[in-house]
């Protein structure tokens, strides 16, 4: 471990708070120190209040901010003198503490201060850094962890036994720090929690953190526990339908749809195939801070129902030891380990599932290194339950905000690179769905750089390509809840007498045959949708009212419409509903080239602009109009509707 401090880079961050931002970002860059919003940093400053008086202020990282990307606005300013008075109280409930922090901030728009604010305030240093360094957690989770820590650091750190974050921890640190600290003290280790460093400058505090964690890493290396040996890893044997079934069962147990990402790389497979996996993985998280994300001890194997029963028994046995009555809000595991597929990480969103996976990757390394030091051991169950059923965490879970309607669900859209398909992607993402987007255009792969979007180039006339795309979708998100059949082509205007057989077959292959193959392949996945499968078919006005010169397109869309009606009849018993939209004159799509548009306008004796609004309402129908209705048809308003055919055409006289 080495310092990332750069004088030229630091010069871009003026002032004490600016340098606090800079070194916080340096810590956040190193994932062995800080993961997904973990860790904390602060700085004590003197600033003028409205009366021109000097006021002592603690700026501390606020909730919801990540150290890697934090800005000055991410630090909450709190009255330091008042915080230090709070630290001298004999007792203060965590609910009271949070209220006091909120009512003594100096900026109403600032984020909520960390629950460790009073702890930071009680330490007699200008800059304070706190991380959950992997190396330190490895040692504190090994046998005789405290003895090892004291041997590594001597009198350079204060050692605090594990206490749950909050006022009790702050009070203990305020009492123990002056008792243990000496002239050589530069940091503090909280057993099974993390490490602090202090300094009179941002650079000093940061580089002390690097030094302290580096010593822990060097110790692990000297003990020959750093390199994790791997036996021969057996290749993954993944049954993709089984993964979708697992996601379905996780969703059922949790009470709502979940995203589930499967990780089958060598690292996860090697861990899942360990002979001692049952013992190693079932003890608990490496720090209670992680239990909030990983949500219970990871299960072994894929029997979710059995796991939940076992966990409830475990809960009944240990939860009464924790303070006050507890209610289990969500018993579903977030981590599933199996030698066949490695690791499956679940969450309400794709981002949550990614956080779980990354946290557990670090946990795997910590567990295995601690095991090599003599045996990994987590905290006692009581301490784990105290965090998971902490009043503040329970309150946050109960509030939960208002999740978007498709949170935890997965949608697949074809023809997604442009036009109606891209608009459908946007509408579904806006409603909280994770979206799989397919298109023959490779531009679909880079449409959106976000965790809840997966774009794949796919030739829908290739059955093997469809199978591979669905397999990747299941590995990435866990299954399929919604399907939007949008891909299609509109050939040039041509009378039947001039229509070539190859052109006819090409239109049928894309507009009809490919959709049959895709529907058939998606059916077993849609059956497993926690809220029931939904299919939205983007048809055409040409189904009820075909026009001359579009025989192949009209016939293919009519056949697709009939296919959807039959599927609605056959799949209703599986809880799958299928509805069709019939747009007309949607010109901001890929199939409407300038040439085709000009041809059709000329055919009807209209200008291009007149052709665009040639409907009863004299309005232009755009891709977003169609997409919004398609997305709504997958929602609760259409929960009792299947086989419907809805025009989106501004009113067409021939259809009416």
Q: Tokens 């293919």 appear where?
A: 556
Alpha helices of 283-325 — where are they, by DSSP H?
A: 288-294, 304-318
Q: How far apart are CA 553 and CA 539, in angstroms?
A: 10
- Report the sign of the C-alpha dihedral through residues 433, 434, 438, 442, in that order: positive
Shared-domain flag, residues 57 and 137 = yes
User: What pLDDT, on a 0 to 100 scale, did the predictor assign at position 198?
Assistant: 95
Residues of the chain with pLDDT > 70: what percent? 90
Alpha helices of 329-375 — where are they, by DSSP H?
A: 350-372
CATH code of the domain covering residue 115: 3.40.225.10
Q: Is 553 a catalytic residue?
A: yes
Domain boundary among 399, 425, 458: 399
| 536 domain residue, yes or no | yes
pLDDT band of residue 64 (cuts 50, 70, 90) is: confident
Range picked from 85-94, 167-176, 228-237, 550-559 for highest mean pLDDT: 550-559
Question: Considering only CA atoms, which of 272, 253, 251, 255 is closest in space to residue 263?
Answer: 272
Pairing of strands 482-485, 299-300: unpaired
Both structure tokens of 42: 């602060």
Pairing of strands 194-199, 187-190: antiparallel
Shared-domain flag, residues 335 and 441 = no
Q: How far apart are CA 188 and CA 198, in angstroms?
A: 9
Shared-domain flag, residues 644 and 583 = yes
Shared-domain flag, residues 196 and 288 = no
| 203 domain residue, yes or no | yes
- Given 153, 206, 376, 553, the catalytic residue: 553
| 42 domain residue, yes or no | yes
CATH code of the domain covering residue 303: 3.40.225
Range picked from 160-169, 228-237, 290-299, 564-573 for highest mean pLDDT: 564-573
Looking at the predicted structure, is the pLDDT value of residue 386 above 70?
no
CA atoms within 13 A on the CB side of 563: 23
Would you say 447 and 453 are in contact if contact means Cβ atoms under 8 Å apart? yes
Looking at the predicted structure, is the pLDDT value of residue 129 above 90?
yes
What value does the mean pLDDT of the chain take? Answer: 90
Mean pLDDT of 421-425: 97
Shared-domain flag, residues 40 and 66 = yes
| 287 domain residue, yes or no | yes
CB neighbours of residue 333 within 10 Å: 24
Question: How many structural domains is the chain composed of?
Answer: 3
* Residue ranges of E strands in 539-585: 577-583
Shared-domain flag, residues 258 and 361 = yes
Q: How far apart are CA 507 and CA 555, in angstroms?
A: 9
User: What pLDDT, on a 0 to 100 scale, did the predictor assign at position 594?
Assistant: 85
Looking at the predicted structure, is the pLDDT value of residue 380 above 80?
no
| 114 domain residue, yes or no | yes
Shared-domain flag, residues 452 and 519 = yes
Q: How far apart are CA 63 and CA 100, in angstroms?
A: 16
User: What pLDDT, on a 0 to 100 scale, did the predictor assign at position 271?
Assistant: 94
Looking at the predicted structure, is the pLDDT value of residue 304 above 90?
no
Q: How far apart are CA 9 and CA 424, in angstroms?
A: 43
CATH code of the domain covering residue 557: 3.40.50.720
Domain boundary among 196, 222, 248: 222
Shared-domain flag, residues 245 and 217 = no
Shared-domain flag, residues 490 and 389 = no
Task: Read off the pLDDT of residues 465-478 as tens digits, 9 standing for 90 and up.
Answer: 999 999 999 999 99
Helices (H) and strands (E) in the chain, counts: 25, 18
Residues of the chain with pLDDT > 90: what percent? 76
User: What pLDDT, on a 0 to 100 scale, did the predictor assign at position 254?
Assistant: 86
* Residue ranges of E strands in 572-630: 577-583
Would you say 186 and 208 are in contact if contact means Cβ atoms under 8 Å apart? yes
User: What pLDDT, on a 0 to 100 scale, did the predictor assign at position 543?
Assistant: 96
Would you say 456 and 445 are in contact if contact means Cβ atoms under 8 Å apart? yes
Looking at the predicted structure, is the pLDDT value of residue 294 above 70?
no
| 230 domain residue, yes or no | no
Shared-domain flag, residues 15 and 157 = yes
Domain of residue 32 covers 7-222
Phi/psi of residue 577, each to 5°? -115, 145
Shared-domain flag, residues 311 and 423 = no
User: What pLDDT, on a 0 to 100 scale, did the predictor assign at position 528?
Assistant: 98
Mean pLDDT of 345-351: 94
Beta-ladder partners of 581: 538, 646
CB neighbours of residue 503 within 10 Å: 15
- Of residues 412 and 306, which shows the higher confidence score? 412
Shared-domain flag, residues 485 and 608 = yes
Domain boundary among 399, 424, 458: 399
Beta-ladder partners of 127: 43, 199
| 405 domain residue, yes or no | no
User: What pLDDT, on a 0 to 100 scale, did the predictor assign at position 324?
Assistant: 53
| 654 domain residue, yes or no | no
Lowest mean pLDDT among 25-34, 276-285, 500-509, 624-633: 276-285
Q: Tokens 């007149």 appear where?
A: 610
């Amino acid at each position: 471990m080495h310092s990332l401090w750069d004088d030229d880079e630091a010069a871009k961050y003026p002032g004490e708070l600016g340098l606090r931002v800079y070194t916080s970002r340096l810590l956040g860059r190193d994932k062995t120190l800080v993961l997904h919003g973990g860790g904390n940093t602060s700085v004590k400053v003197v600033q003028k209040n409205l009366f021109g008086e000097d006021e002592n202020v603690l700026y501390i990282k606020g909730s919801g901010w990540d150290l890697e990307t934090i800005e000055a606005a991410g630090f909450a300013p709190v009255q330091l003198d008042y915080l230090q008075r709070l630290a001298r109280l004999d007792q203060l409930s965590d609910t009271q503490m949070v209220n006091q922090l909120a009512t003594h901030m100096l900026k109403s728009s600032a984020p909520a201060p960390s629950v460790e604010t009073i702890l930071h305030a009680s330490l007699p240093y200008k800059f304070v850094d706190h991380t959950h360094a992997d190396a330190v957690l490895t040692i504190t989770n090994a046998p005789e962890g405290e003895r090892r820590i004291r041997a590594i650091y001597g009198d350079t750190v204060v050692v605090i036994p594990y206490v749950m974050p909050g006022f009790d921890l702050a009070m203990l640190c305020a009492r123990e720090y002056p008792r243990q600290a000496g002239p050589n003290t530069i940091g503090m280790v909280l057993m099974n929690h993390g490490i602090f460093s202090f300094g009179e400058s941002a650079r000093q505090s940061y580089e002390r953190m690097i030094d302290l964690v580096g010593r822990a890493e060097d110790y692990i290396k000297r003990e020959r526990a750093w390199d994790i040996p791997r036996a021969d890893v057996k290749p993954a044997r993944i049954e993709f339908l089984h993964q979708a079934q697992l996601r379905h069962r996780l969703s059922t147990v949790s009470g709502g749809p979940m995203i589930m990402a499967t990780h089958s790389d060598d690292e996860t497979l090697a861990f899942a195939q360990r002979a001692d996996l049952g013992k190693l993985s079932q003890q608990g998280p490496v720090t209670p801070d992680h239990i909030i994300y990983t949500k219970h001890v990871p299960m072994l194997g894929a029997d979710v129902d059995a796991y939940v029963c076992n966990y409830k028994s475990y809960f009944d046995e240990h939860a009464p030891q924790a303070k006050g009555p507890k209610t289990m809000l969500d018993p579903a595991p977030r981590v599933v380990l199996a030698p066949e597929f490695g690791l499956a990480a679940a969450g309400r969103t794709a981002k949550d599932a990614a956080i779980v996976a990354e946290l557990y990757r670090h946990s795997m390394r910590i567990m295995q290194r601690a095991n090599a030091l003599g045996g990994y051991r987590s905290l006692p169950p009581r301490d784990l339950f105290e965090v998971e059923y902490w009043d503040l965490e329970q309150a946050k879970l109960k509030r939960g905000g208002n999740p978007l309607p498709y949170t935890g669900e997965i949608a697949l859209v074809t023809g997604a690179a442009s036009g109606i398909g891209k608009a459908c992607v946007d509408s579904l993402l806006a409603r909280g769905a994770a979206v799989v987007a397919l298109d023959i255009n490779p531009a679909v792969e880079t449409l959106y750089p976000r965790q809840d979007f997966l774009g794949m180039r796919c030739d829908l006339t290739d059955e093997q390509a469809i199978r591979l795309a669905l397999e990747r979708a299941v590995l990435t998100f866990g299954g399929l809840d919604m399907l939007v059949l949008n891909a299609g082509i509109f050939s040039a205007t041509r009378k039947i007498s001039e229509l070539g057989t190859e052109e006819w077959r090409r239109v049928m292959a894309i507009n009809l045959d490919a959709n049959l193959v895709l529907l058939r392949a998606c059916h077993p996945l849609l059956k497993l949708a926690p809220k029931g499968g939904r299919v939205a078919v983007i048809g055409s006005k040409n189904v009820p009212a075909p026009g001359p010169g579009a025989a192949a397109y009209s016939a293919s869309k009519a056949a697709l419409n009939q296919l959807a009606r039959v599927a609605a009849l056959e799949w209703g018993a599986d809880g799958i509903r299928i509805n069709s939209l019939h747009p007309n004159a949607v010109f901001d799509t890929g199939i409407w080239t300038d040439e085709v548009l000009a041809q059709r306008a000329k055919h009807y004796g209209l200008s291009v602009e007149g052709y665009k609004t040639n409907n009863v309402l004299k309005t232009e129908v755009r891709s977003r109009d169609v997409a919004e209705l398609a997305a709504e048809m997958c929602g609760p308003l259409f929960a009792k509707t299947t086989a419907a055919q809805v025009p989106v055409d501004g009113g067409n006289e021939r259809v009416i």
